[in-house]
């Protein structure tokens, strides 16, 4: 043997670890899609509109019963769209504003995220005026910790999410704790103001 | 009807909702019999996807029975058992005409970069999903297929996304005979991608994760070599050592936005939502693949920027391939593989829970308790 260095400092390909016969014997279906022609979606773009099931050149238009926000990168409202949870309230105003920016702009996405947070906090507060207030215990599914071996699934396993698991309760429960403290403080102030 | 409803990050509950109506002549209403929770549902659940509105119902993996059809529906009839691909698509736009069903331009007014997806925020069109007793299915003549005789319900359900996406991930890797394929992530998509890589002639398949029980599944279900990155100082160096210092020919990112393993990336993305996703797995993929190799991205990322190591990808001459899977395009071939016994999709299902307990189902899956890999939701109406 020569004193040539190892791969990849020389031109040879690494030797196969297993022969094709061994692979075929060990793995069900080995190589059945070896020929790219057998793989679906090859070639990637195949002009075949007749095979999709569409029997229209352009679909009927779903009626726009209430004004529907859209990306300014669209030249028109798409013929079909989802109608759940239309824009409403403060979060709706923020989201509507976000749609003034294209998808290329960070402002678009960051405003949408801001709208999401306003929506969830607002809905949460509003839920206390309903017969079914948010219940952090059932809605976070925390009871699964008892039913599905929360401790046993974590302790003694080398899971990398363990390193920041301490953050999760702060992020999830933090807003509740802060809201609680603020409520108590406010109530105290109101009480002392009333006494005065 | 009963439906899962989003209340804010980490909070969901079951509510009574109106049964969806026909809103377009080619709509169908489907009574859901089985749905699944997908890894990408966790991005919504954690509040990572912009424009996820309180009151919406998640769920893009479901099968069911046709309950009502619109006046222009020709192919489906009430009572048909159908599997519904997670993509909503029209079949006739520029993109659908070319087979890019996941990139349809006629179904999502909220974004041009994203197609239509059931129960996947307004950024994906504002449709309710199938983690409910009923769901509106647009373009009933285009999307759904009648479940073929002999195909098990759970296997049909897994075709609607996870299996199709995993297979698509291997396909985009453009695998040649004898290639070494590394898959980051041993969740459902990663397991199916690893398994599918063999179909395409891989010579070696390596799966990387930090959950030992999932790596065990990768060895058993996908016949893969496995590495637990928590046991290695620097998984990229480990991958180089494992591949004669050449790097893998193909690397598949089957993790996506909530990748763990780098505290700063994980916290800025998954916890503080300042990135479109934590690209840890993607960066590992870029650094682990060989020069001139291919990285296939199946993990889902949000539309906000992510800190991706683009310079390495450029300097290494990589081919980066990715898309949301056009699920229905994969079905004919996948059906053959299931019929021929090359794989049994439902082998990875670990939990089956009723719709009423879905909040616990999300926590179980999100926190990876009890060996959870794939959870199937059954509806009472079924
Ligand atoms: Zn999915
Ligand atoms: Zn289309």
Residue-wise pLDDT tens digits, A109-137: 999 999 999 999 999 999 999 999 998 88
Q: How far apart are CA B265 and CA B305, in angstroms?
A: 12
Of B138, B203, B330, the CB nearest to A17: B203
Which residues have their alpha-adjacent CB atom under 5 A from ion ligand 1? B 38, 40, 161
Q: What is the ipTM of this complex?
A: 0.93
Q: Are the beta carbons of A138 and B13 separated by less than 8 Å?
A: yes
Comparison of pLDDT for A140 and B58, the residue scoring more: B58
Which residues have their alpha-adjacent CB atom under 5 A from ion ligand 2? B 89-90, 93, 96, 104, 106
Q: What's the pLDDT score for residue B68?
A: 98
Q: What's the pLDDT score for residue B382?
A: 46
Q: How far apart are CA B301 and CA B307, in angstroms?
A: 12
Cβ-Cβ contacts under 8 Å for B154 (sequence gap 6 or more): B34, B345, B346, B349, B376
Q: What's the pLDDT score for residue B270?
A: 61
Comparison of pLDDT for A171 and B215, the residue scoring more: B215
Can you tell me whether residue B315 is helix, strand or coil? helix
Pairing of strands B61-69, B28-37: antiparallel
Q: Residue A7's pLDDT band (boundaries 50, 70, 90)?
A: confident
Chain segment A14-64, per-residue pLDDT in tens: 888 999 999 999 999 999 999 988 888 766 777 777 789 999 999 999 999
DSSP structure class, residue B309: -
In order, the DSSP letters of B152-214 are -HHHHHHHTTHHHHHHHHHHHTT--TT-EEEEE--SHHHHHHHHHHHHTT-SEEEEEES-HHH
Which CA distances in Å does A94 have to A73, A98, B185?
A: 19, 6, 36
Question: Residue B247 burial by CB count (10 A; 0-12/13-18/19+): exposed, middle or buried?
Answer: buried
* A2 Cα to chain B: minimum distance (Å): 18
Q: How far apart are CA A65 and CA A190, in angstroms?
A: 45
Q: How far apart are CA B206 and CA B202, in angstroms?
A: 10
Mean pLDDT over all residues of chain A?
87
Stretch A74-99: mean pLDDT: 97
Q: What's the pLDDT score for residue A70?
A: 97
Each residue's pLDDT expressed in tens, for chain B with a length of 382 residues:
999 999 999 999 999 999 999 999 999 999 999 999 999 999 899 888 999 999 999 999 999 999 999 999 999 999 999 999 999 999 999 999 999 999 999 999 999 999 999 999 999 999 999 999 999 999 999 999 999 999 999 999 999 999 999 999 999 999 999 999 999 999 999 999 999 999 999 999 999 998 999 999 999 999 999 999 989 999 999 999 999 999 999 999 998 766 666 666 666 666 655 565 568 889 999 999 999 999 999 988 888 888 889 999 999 999 999 999 999 999 999 999 999 999 999 999 999 999 999 999 999 998 889 899 999 999 865 4
pTM metric for this prediction: 0.92
Q: Are the beta carbons of B7 and A45 separated by less than 8 Å?
A: no
Q: How far apart are CA B158 and CA B345, in angstroms?
A: 7
What is the Å distance from ligand 1's center to A19 Cα?
35
Q: What's the pLDDT score for residue A165?
A: 65
Contacts of A16 in chain B (CB under 8 A): 178, 203
Q: How far apart are CA A17 and CA A23, in angstroms?
A: 10
Q: Residue A164's pLDDT band (boundaries 50, 70, 90)?
A: low
Q: What's the pLDDT score for residue A42?
A: 64
Of B98, B230, B341, the CB nearest to A160: B230
Share of chain A above pLDDT 70, in %: 89
Cβ-Cβ contacts under 8 Å for A99 (sequence gap 6 or more): A69, A70, A71, A72, A108, B110
Q: What's the pLDDT score for residue B260?
A: 65
């Amino acid at each position: 043997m020569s004193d040539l260095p190892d791969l990849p400092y020389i031109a040879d390909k690494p030797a196969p670890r297993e022969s094709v016969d061994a692979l075929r014997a060990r793995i069900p279906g080995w190589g059945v899609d070896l020929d790219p022609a057998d793989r679906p979606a090859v070639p990637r773009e195949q002009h075949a509109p007749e095979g999709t099931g569409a029997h229209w050149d352009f679909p009927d238009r779903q009626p726009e019963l209430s004004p529907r926000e859209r990306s300014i990168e669209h030249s028109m409202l798409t013929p079909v769209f989802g109608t759940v949870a239309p824009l409403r309230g403060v979060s709706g105003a923020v989201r509507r504003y976000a749609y003034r920016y294209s998808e290329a702009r960070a402002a678009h996405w960051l405003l949408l995220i801001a709208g999401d947070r306003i929506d969830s906090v607002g809905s949460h507060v509003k839920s206390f005026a309903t017969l079914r207030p948010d219940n952090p215990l059932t809605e976070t599914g925390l009871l699964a910790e008892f039913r599905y071996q929360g401790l046993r699934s974590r302790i003694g396993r080398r899971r990398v999410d363990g390193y920041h698991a301490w953050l999760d309760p702060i992020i999830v429960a933090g807003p509740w704790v802060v809201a609680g403290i603020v409520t108590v403080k406010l109530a105290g102030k109101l009480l002392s103001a009333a006494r005065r | 009807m009963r439906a899962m409803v989003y209340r804010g990050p980490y909070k969901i509950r079951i509510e009574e909702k109106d049964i969806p109506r026909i809103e377009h002549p080619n709509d169908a209403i489907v009574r859901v019999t089985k749905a699944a929770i997908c890894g990408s549902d966790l991005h919504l659940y954690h509040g990572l996807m912009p424009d996820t509105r309180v009151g919406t119902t998640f769920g893009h993996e479901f099968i069911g029975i046709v309950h009502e059809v619109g006046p222009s529906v020709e192919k489906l009839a009430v009572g048909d058992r159908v599997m519904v691909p997670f993509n909503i698509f029209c079949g006739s736009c520029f993109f659908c005409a070319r087979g890019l069903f996941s990139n349809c331009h006629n179904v999502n007014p909220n974004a041009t970069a994203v197609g239509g997806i059931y129960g996947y925020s307004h950024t994906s069109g504002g449709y309710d999903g199938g983690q409910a007793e009923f769901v509106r299915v647009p373009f009933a003549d285009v999307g759904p297929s009648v479940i073929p005789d002999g195909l098990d319900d759970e296997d049909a359900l897994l075709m609607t996304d996870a299996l199709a996406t995993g297979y698509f991930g291997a396909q985009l890797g453009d695998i040649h005979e004898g290639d070494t394929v590394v898959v980051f992530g041993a969740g459902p998509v990663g397991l199916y991608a690893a398994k599918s890589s063999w179909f395409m002639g891989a010579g070696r398949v390596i799966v990387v994760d930090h959950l030992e029980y999932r790596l065990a599944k990768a060895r058993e279900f996908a016949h893969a070599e496995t590495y637990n990155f928590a046991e290695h100082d620097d998984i990229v160096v480990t991958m180089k050592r494992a591949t004669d210092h050449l790097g893998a020919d193909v690397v598949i990112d089957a993790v996506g936005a909530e990748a763990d393993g780098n505290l700063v990336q994980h916290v800025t993305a998954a916890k503080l939502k300042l990135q479109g996703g934590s690209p840890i797995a993607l960066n590992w993929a870029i650094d682990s693949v060989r020069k001139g190799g291919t990285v296939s991205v199946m993990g889902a990322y949000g539309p906000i920027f992510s800190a991706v190591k683009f310079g390495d990808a450029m300097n290494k001459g990589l081919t980066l391939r990715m898309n949301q899977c056009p699920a229905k395009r994969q079905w004919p071939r996948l059906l053959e593989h299931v019929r021929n016994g090359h794989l049994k999709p439902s082998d990875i299902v670990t939990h089956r829970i009723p719709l009423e307990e879905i909040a616990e189902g999300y926590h179980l899956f999100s926190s990876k308790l009890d060996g959870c890999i794939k959870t199937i939701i059954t509806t009472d109406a079924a």
